Structure 1
Amino acid sequence: MLVSHGLAGLLAQSGLVPRGTRVFVFERIFAVFLVLGTLVGVVVIGYMLYNAYKYRDDGQEPTDADRPALGELPTGGGKGKKLFTSFALSAVVVISLVAWTYGTLLYVEEGPSQAESLEIDVEGYQFGWRFTYPNGHVEDSTAGGVLRVPEDRAVRLRVTSADVFHNFGIPEQKVKTDAIPGQTSETWFQAEETGTYTANCYELCGAGHSYMTAQVVVMEPDEYREWYENLNESAS
């Protein structure tokens, strides 16, 4: 674990760990695992096919020189060098991959600083979501309210529950976190495109669980600023 943590720190400082939105980071993780998995599969299957062809039965009887005598150890195996090399390369690849993934997920866990983020409180209840903005404005999903956020800005969500366990998630933005009574969990996301997305509850919370959804509307920054300022004017 200490080795992985140290390598993760070095990777983060070197710039090899991807930075950006959650969607971007998870796409990079998927791409790295896909490429490495494909490469390992090609090497293993290729080596297997090569040996299957090399040592195929060609119908010829082996000569006495090819047969070891009874009690004689086979020669020409390289004294385990191939096995050692394969284990060493595998260890380097696995440890590097674990460290890189660990460093990447650390970034996803921490996210942008609070100064750079728009903070919104999210409260789950049976069976809806309440969104509270910094100015005190509340949107309730069961009353037609939606979560409105600006495009290309980090949004930090402080999530809790008013009754039972819930789980707030927006699959298109690769964000999901628990909503626990008496506790607050934090997560973040940053939408790159305007549009309407769906937030769901991913914790079985009662008979109305499947209806516990909310719309997430990503707006252009100027449009969002105008909407937010109008809220302040109407509240005053």
Structure 2
Amino acid sequence: MIDPVILQQGSDWRAQAEVFDEIFFVFLALGTLVGTIVVAYTLWNVYKYRDDGDRSDEKFDAPTVGELPTGQGGPKAKKLFLSFGLSAIVVISLVVYAYGLLLYVEDGPSVQDDGDIEILVEGQQYGWVYEYPNGHTERGELIVPADQRIDINVTSQDVWHNFGSSELRIKSDAIPGEYNENWFSVSSEEVEAQGGEATYTVECFELCGPGHSAMKGQITVIPEDEWEEWYADTGEDSESESIESAGVTFDASAASGVSA
């Protein structure tokens, strides 16, 4: 089993996107390798045992339905059980490898009691509201620091929504009266690669009404020192620009073709 501690060395925590990309690459590479070997071996046997007209039916050891191809002397059985054994090793190894990584994705990296940031995410027709621990509220844009584990509690104020970002590989149901926990993190290297400010698109992945397609937002990741300065300037119960100015408003009657 892969120890999740291996995946969370200080600021070198593995983001969910990196973990899922790695799993995809490993399965793709191994699947391509095994598939190439199997197809090549099959084609080689097709050529080797082709009917060239010289075969004698008396020497042909035809398989029987329901009978293991043990053959005479057991060479066929050895090949059969060898293939079974190799297949079992490959499959079990992949299951253990992927399960270890998915445990890390589910639990997230370990941090001190006060080392992570918990943010309440509320969906509403048709936008996202983010409430920080000090009571500050942002609408449309979630601003977080790099190299930090960001915990989110996702819920809804009206109907079912689904908060997610394809780029960060996060996705959580937003259900009225319920809270779904998730987490994500972005490294400072990724922030620097995007020019000092990394941005990721937020979408609703649950059909929630005529304004569903317009229910978008943004996650903005900035260096930790800049975020601390920004966060210190936010007062309790303060609120950023309204949903209208954030560009996430939606006229439901216009979308449904009904004039106001």
Q: Which category describes the TM-score, using the shorter chain as reference length? A: 0.7 to 0.9
Shift of 1:43: 1.1
Determine whether 1:21 maps to 2:18.
no
Shift of 1:126: 1.1
AA of the residue aligned to 1:174 = R
Considering fraction of residues, name the structure with more helix.
Answer: 1
Count of aligned pairs between the two proteins? 218
User: What is the match of residue 137 of structure 1?
Assistant: 136
- Does the aligned pair in 2 maintain the 1:17–1:104 contact within 8 Å? no
Shift of 1:152: 1.9
Determine whether 1:180 maps to 2:183.
no
- Does the aligned pair in 2 maintain the 1:168–1:199 contact within 8 Å? yes
User: What is the match of residue 127 of structure 2?
Assistant: 128
Distance 1:39 1:149 in 2: 41
Select which of 1, 24, 41 maps to 1:30: 24
Structure 1: gaps (5+ residues) = 1-9
User: What is the match of residue 54 of structure 2?
Assistant: 61
Structure 2: gaps (5+ residues) = 62-69, 192-196, 239-260
Determine whether 1:152 maps to 2:147.
yes
Indicate the larger mover: 170-179 or 115-124: 115-124
User: What is the match of residue 254 of structure 2?
Assistant: none
Matches within 5 A, 1:4-15: 10-12=1-3, 15=6
Distance 2:6 2:236 in 1: 44
Q: Deviations over 1:92-132 (max 9, x none)?
A: 21122112212211110111236332111101111111100
Q: Deviations over 1:128-177 (max 9, x none)?
A: 11100111000122xxxx11011221111111111111100011111111
Provide the identity percentage: 51
> TM-score, length-normalised on structure 2?
0.75
Shift of 1:234: 10
- Does the aligned pair in 1 maintain the 2:165–2:202 contact within 8 Å? yes
Shift of 1:57: 3.6
Distance 2:5 2:228 in 1: 37
User: What is the match of residue 39 of structure 1?
Assistant: 33
Distance 1:51 1:14 in 2: 47
Q: Deviations over 1:32-82 (max 9, x none)?
A: 101110111111011112112212344x523587456xxxx9635525121
Report the CA distance shift for 1:48/1:172 in structure 2 as closer, same or farther (over 3 A): same
Select which of 161, 166, 184 maps to 1:166: 161
AA of the residue aligned to 2:128 = W
Determine whether 1:95 maps to 2:92.
yes
AA of the residue aligned to 1:198 = T
Report the CA distance shift for 1:233/1:191 in structure 2 as closer, same or farther (over 3 A): same
